[in-house]
Amino acid sequence: MPEKKFTGTGVAITTPFRKDGSVDFKSLGAHVNYLINNGINYLVVLGTTGETPVLSKDEKNAVVSFVVELADKKVPVIVGIGGNHTQAVIDNINETDFTGIDAILSVSPYYNKPNQNGLLQHYKAIAEASPVPVIIYNVPGRTGSNISAETTIKLAKDFRQIIAIKEASGNLSQIMNIIKDKPVTFKVISGDDALTLPIIALGGMGVISVIANAFPAEISTMVKYALNGKMEEAKKIHYKFLPFIEAIFAEGSPSGVKAVLEILDISSNYLRLPLVPVSKDLYKKLEKMVKEVKDNKL
């Protein structure tokens, strides 16, 4: 079953840029190898963390092709294909070469705020159009609307192509109700680094992570511990990184994690407007936190 691929730690990878604003493929390649070599289970390309809204169509295609080729089936690759114009999403799916792509992550429609029936019909259309499995992405803080537990469960039961949800509502009651009533093979994946451990404890199957861009080995280890019932070991890592997680989101994402990646000498700290780098004060705080992690290796 394809859903077995998406247990554990996925990483919503950043898109590194050069000073002139162009995509830095050399750094992207080094970053992808760093993630794969440090135990992550799958890669997510063209997510929020990848600054997808400010990439051109040609850049998106180039980034996906580059990552797919570099991953070379060592780990699965998920590609973000979503939007608030259902037909445009379907057209995008129809135009995509899915060679080497294992699933799509489709963010719930934003700005036009559909009701639950509209959300259901949107994902029904995507499920019927997609040649690969579909992962729903519920992130009300960015979209302005929430996919209810009832809608998620109906989609999971009615469409085999819909195999999981990345849940970033922060609503643990909603997440528990999904886990309680979902089909056995349907996966609930944390979309919030700070809630990864509690969501796994409730029956979730991992995370699509931002912080793991910088600390893939540590976050992957935490998730493996949690999935294997070793909660005391997992809690130690969770609480060690919780302040770090809060700090990287303090001034927006991926601004925080891009600063950390520069501090770790993995990629540069350039973003495209309207995003800007974090403040000097936060950068200094992140430098201190990186040093503390390095001085206290897990």
pLDDT score, position 295: 84
pLDDT in tens, 103-157: 999 999 999 999 999 999 999 999 999 999 999 999 999 999 999 999 999 999 9
Alpha-carbon span 9 to 110, nearest angstrom:
26
CATH topology assigned to domain 2-228: TIM Barrel (3.20.20)
Of the listed 5, 60, 166, 182, which one is catalytic? 166
Q: Is 20 left (phi over 0), alpha (psi -120 to 50) or beta?
A: alpha
Q: Which residue positions in the chain have pLDDT lower than 50?
A: 1-3, 298
Of the listed 42, 137, 225, 283, which one is catalytic? 137
Q: With contact defined as beta carbons under 8 Å apart, do 102 and 67 qualify?
A: no
pLDDT score, position 1: 36
Q: Annotated catalytic, 26? A: no
Q: With contact defined as beta carbons under 8 Å apart, do 256 and 278 qualify?
A: yes
Structure tokens at 5: 């691929």
Q: Annotated catalytic, 182? A: no
Q: With contact defined as beta carbons under 8 Å apart, do 51 and 14 qualify?
A: yes
Strands (E), 47-161: 77-80, 103-107, 134-138
Look-up: residue for tokens 């009701």?
115
List, in order, residues 6 or more apart from 26 with CB less than 8 Å away.
none
Alpha-carbon span 160 to 186, nearest angstrom:
9
Structure tokens at 277: 């780098």
- The domain spans of the chain are 2-228
List, in order, residues 6 or more apart from 118 with CB less than 8 Å away.
109
